[in-house]
Amino acid sequence: MSTTDNAATSSYTPAHNDFTAISINSFKAYDIRGELGVSLDEDIAYRIGRAFAQILSQRYDSAGANDDGIKNPDSLANLQPAIVIGSDIRHSSEQLKQATIAGIMAAGVDVIDLGMTGTEEVYFATSHYQALGGIEVTASHNPINYNGLKLVKEHSKPISADDGLAEIQQLAESGRFTVSNSQGKLQLLTDKSAYVDHVMSFVDTDKLKPLKLVINSGNGSAGPVVDLLVDKLAQAGAPIEVIKLHHKPDGSFPNGIPNPMILANRTATQQAVIEHKADLGIAFDGDFDRCFLFDENGEFIDGSYVVGMLAQAFLNKYPGESIVYDPRVVYNTEAVVKAHNGKTVISKSGHSFIKQVMRESGAIYGGEMSAHHYFRDFCYCDSGMIPWLLTIELLSITGKTLSELVTGYISDYPSSGELNFHLTDHDAPTIIKDIEEKFSDQNPTKSTLDGLSLDFGDWRFNLRASNTEPLIRLNIESRGDEPLLAMKVQEVQQWLAQQGAVPA
């Protein structure tokens, strides 16, 4: 469905236009997240929408042609003065979206409402409609009493605390909004066909072999998009059978918050894979910007090995391309990229860093062990739908099962998985400084790109403070030596416990 109504307006109306200064503590490193009624409500969403629109429109108004009179295709001057917005299935999301829309329109900026969406649909639509920016109202995998907003600027570029988010926060808090001479217009454009066609362009459906999939949408926003993609596969004659689990979007989350990183939340997908004798299990978080895979035995595949697998898939198609990855777990990715004649490019973890490094290097693909996967041909953004399509294509082309594809990775480069700790006695910088001193006599190769990485040749670890939670995160890996890995995990964990670090 696609509807245009320039007379439409938001269902939210601010109580007054005299905005006193307030404090908003829902701004984080990369996005906005907070407890409903405590650090995020409709009034705050209105302020954020209005501040975001005012700042973007001021930048747009000052943009123009290059000195030679030729417009730069990446210039703001080629965009339309509009902001796209979508929201997930949470019960509070529609109200927060309406308040955000009211704020954008009060700033004199047009709005394109995409309806219920996943975050990647906003990424796509921001570039597709050549909009000034985009907003997804979502709390992703956070508890049910939370919500938030994810923001991007022109060409789907990320906004972080160091690159625009702090400015938006300051304006939203101050309430010193410019009075617009006109009200922005609202359009409802819910047709997903352009997005779905683009996602499907990443695979060759003629190469797909018979496969049975279990797809767990977690009662989040993924269900409608999964339906559209499965229909496209059927229309193309692809012999793909899909068992849909927890498929209906339901903001009460009757089967629990969709977060496959929680061990208990994996059980339903694992059992369904085994029960249906499926070739692959797929699960999403609430806004489906992350994709989690299970092999034919129901075994969960750690995200770092999925990065290596997708790097291989791209390098088979596009030899010599660059692959971006983060420093938490590196051995397998570096080995795969080298074996397939690609170029390795390491980046600090976090979507804004990965995307920036990908743009600078022109990398075709970037991946994080946290199950975020980024694609050059998807506006350098992360997608949860593209990875599983690439995986079924790779299974079809190789004739291998998923376990066969990743078993070599896991045995050659075993890893601990991410271990999280709360700190009680020391702060993260102190812990990181002290652990560097502990191992200094072994002369490891050191990197401080993201926290602290120490490489001892046959094993390495990365210890870093979380960008989004009050935690410190540990990853340890070895070169094909499980006993060494187990010994080093125990050693580092015991040392952290002595420093007052409690497993999260």
CA angle 372, 377, 380 (to 5 degrees): 45
Inter-CA distances, 86 with 116, 120, 125, 281, 441, Å: 6, 10, 10, 27, 53
CA distance 442 to 378: 43
Stated length of the chain: 504
CA-closest candidate to residue 262, choices 482, 461, 418, 493: 418
140 is catalytic: yes
Inter-CA distances, 366 with 77, 118, 135, 169, Å: 29, 20, 23, 29
- CA torsion angle 489 408 395 403 (round to 10): -60
Question: What residues have CB less than 8 Å from 232, skipping those under 6 apart?
Answer: 196, 197, 200
Contact 405, 309 (CB under 8 A): yes
| Active-site option among 57, 87, 93, 140 | 140
Helix axes 42-62, 166-174, angle to 10 degrees: 120
Inter-CA distances, 433 with 88, 429, 453, Å: 41, 6, 12
Helices (H), 17-165: 42-62, 93-106, 119-128
Helices (H), 216-363: 222-235, 267-276, 303-317, 331-339, 351-361
Tokens coding 18: 């005299």
Eight-state DSSP code of residue 300: B
Inter-CA distances, 3 with 81, 110, 114, 238, Å: 19, 15, 10, 32
- Please list the residues that pair with 33 across neighbouring strands: 148
Interstrand relation of 501-503 and 343-346 (parallel, antiparallel or unpaired): unpaired
Inter-CA distances, 321 with 312, 394, 398, Å: 11, 18, 21
**What amino acid positions are annotated as catalytic residues?**
140
